[in-house]
């Protein structure tokens, strides 16, 4: 939205007022749960290694003109885990994040508002409980009477979901070769350079995602482990990882992890992601050694508590779009990128 719409369009003004209320209510909800709000830098020296995310580079200069390369955060995850490693327990952050090569509008934007929260000690089920309670809290406070949100949310493993929706046993499709054969049989083109995740999402996005959360919100849990470099393995099957995504009306709202705190294993997985970035021709940078060091202490704390660490990233602009019934993200972000380049 731009200032003219905000000034003259009553529907847009209502959306903006809903945004203001949700940002306030978000903090109230987590304060009431005794979470501590934290604040970390948006510009960072070393971003994460996710192969399919594109950090936005920025350059800073000191008074004599020396140049320093930084990146706008794609997520505050690494910084927040460093805070957890210092002995803080339940923390949250509301912040701006940036991802290059995203769409301008629809359900995406290069600049967007995120909330991340972590429980230490905590398990993934606790985070899902938090999220369900958060949405019901917003529904009540905003007088948004949608029986779908106020129902008991569904939870289903990715394995059970694939069996239900496309009749595929995911246990038999955990290698690139087996999944590529399945995708080809379903009519999808598998390219020579496709990785496992590429083929997985060709099936998932086209055959499954649009159906998710249409009757009631749903958590999809237990992703194939090779797609989860920041998650620990499922206790009963290490071929899968403790990860969930939450959906309402076919739109992904959140991505949560049972956090991997084993520093050695995390280093190995991030190095593999770094290699994949290089193979894809993307910019590469060092693994954040300070993050790895922090995980060593976080793992010690988790072991002492005899519990795990869990967290989630939730796109607040999508939450605002849902509760304001906006058409796309350009209507919920004041001066979205799309407004400024047109």
Domain at 328, CATH number? 3.30.930.10
- Comparing C-alpha atoms, which of 155, 186, 159 is closest to residue 170? 159
**108 burial type by CB count under 10 A (0-12 exposed, 13-18 middle, 19+ buried):** middle
Q: What is the pLDDT of residues 99-118, one digit of tens each?
A: 998 877 778 899 999 999 99
- Name every residue whose Cβ is closer than 8 Å to that of residue 113 and which is 6 or more positions away in sequence: 23, 94, 95, 96, 97, 315, 316, 317, 320, 333
198 falls within a domain: no
At residue 275 the predicted structure's pLDDT band, cuts being 50, 70 and 90, is very high
54 falls within a domain: yes
96 falls within a domain: yes
Two structure tokens written together for 230: 């920041």
57 falls within a domain: yes
Q: What share of the chain is helix, strand, coil (3-state, %, to 5)?
A: 45, 20, 35
320 falls within a domain: yes
- Comparing C-alpha atoms, which of 277, 281, 310 is closest to residue 52? 277
Do the strands 36-37 and 91-98 form a parallel or antiparallel pair, or are they unpaired? parallel
108 falls within a domain: yes
Total number of domains in the chain: 1
pLDDT, position 335: 74
At residue 340 the predicted structure's pLDDT band, cuts being 50, 70 and 90, is low
Is the Cα dihedral 331, 334, 337, 338 positive or negative? positive
Is the Cα dihedral 218, 224, 229, 231 positive or negative? positive
At residue 336 the predicted structure's pLDDT band, cuts being 50, 70 and 90, is low
Q: What is the pLDDT of residues 315-329, one digit of tens each?
A: 999 999 999 999 989
- Comparing C-alpha atoms, which of 333, 299, 320 is closest to residue 121? 299
Enclosing domain of residue 10: 1-122+310-342
Q: What are phi and psi of 213, to 5 degrees?
A: 75, 20
In order of 203, 226, 267, the CA distances from 195 in angstroms are 13, 10, 21
Two structure tokens written together for 172: 């038999």
Two structure tokens written together for 35: 């979470």
72 falls within a domain: yes
68 falls within a domain: yes
At residue 253 the predicted structure's pLDDT band, cuts being 50, 70 and 90, is very high
Total-model pTM = 0.94
């Amino acid at each position: 939205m731009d200032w003219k719409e905000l000034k003259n369009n009553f529907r847009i003004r209502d959306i903006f007022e809903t945004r203001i209320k949700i940002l306030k209510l978000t903090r109230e909800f987590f304060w009431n749960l005794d979470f501590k709000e934290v604040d970390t830098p948006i510009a960072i020296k070393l971003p994460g290694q996710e192969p399919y995310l594109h950090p936005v580079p920025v350059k800073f200069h000191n008074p004599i003109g020396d140049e320093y390369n930084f990146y706008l955060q794609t997520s505050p995850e690494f910084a927040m885990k460093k805070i957890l490693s210092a002995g803080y327990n339940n923390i949250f952050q509301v912040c701006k994040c940036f991802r290059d090569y995203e769409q301008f509008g629809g359900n995406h934007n290069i600049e967007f508002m995120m909330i991340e929260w972590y429980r230490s000690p905590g398990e993934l089920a606790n985070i899902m409980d938090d999220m369900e309670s958060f949405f019901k809290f917003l529904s009540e406070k905003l007088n948004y009477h949608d029986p779908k949100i106020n129902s008991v949310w569904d939870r289903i493993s990715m394995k059970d979901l694939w069996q239900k929706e496309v009749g595929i046993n995911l246990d038999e499709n955990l290698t690139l070769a087996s999944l590529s054969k399945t995708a080809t049989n379903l009519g999808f083109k598998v390219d020579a350079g496709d990785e496992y995740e590429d083929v997985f999402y060709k099936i998932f996005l086209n055959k499954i995602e649009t159906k998710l959360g249409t009757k009631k919100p749903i958590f999809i849990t237990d992703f194939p482990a090779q797609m989860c470099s920041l998650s620990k393995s499922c206790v009963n099957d290490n071929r899968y990882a403790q990860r969930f995504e939450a959906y309402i009306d076919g739109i992904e709202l959140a991505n949560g992890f049972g956090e991997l705190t084993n520093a050695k294993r995390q280093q190995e997985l991030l190095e593999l992601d770094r290699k994949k970035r290089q193979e894809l021709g993307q910019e590469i940078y060092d693994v954040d050694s300070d993050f790895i060091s922090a995980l060593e202490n976080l793992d010690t704390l988790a072991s002492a508590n005899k519990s795990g660490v869990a967290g989630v990233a939730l796109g607040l602009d999508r939450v605002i779009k849902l509760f304001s019934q906006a058409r796309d993200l350009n209507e919920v972000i004041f001066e979205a990128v799309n407004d400024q380049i047109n």
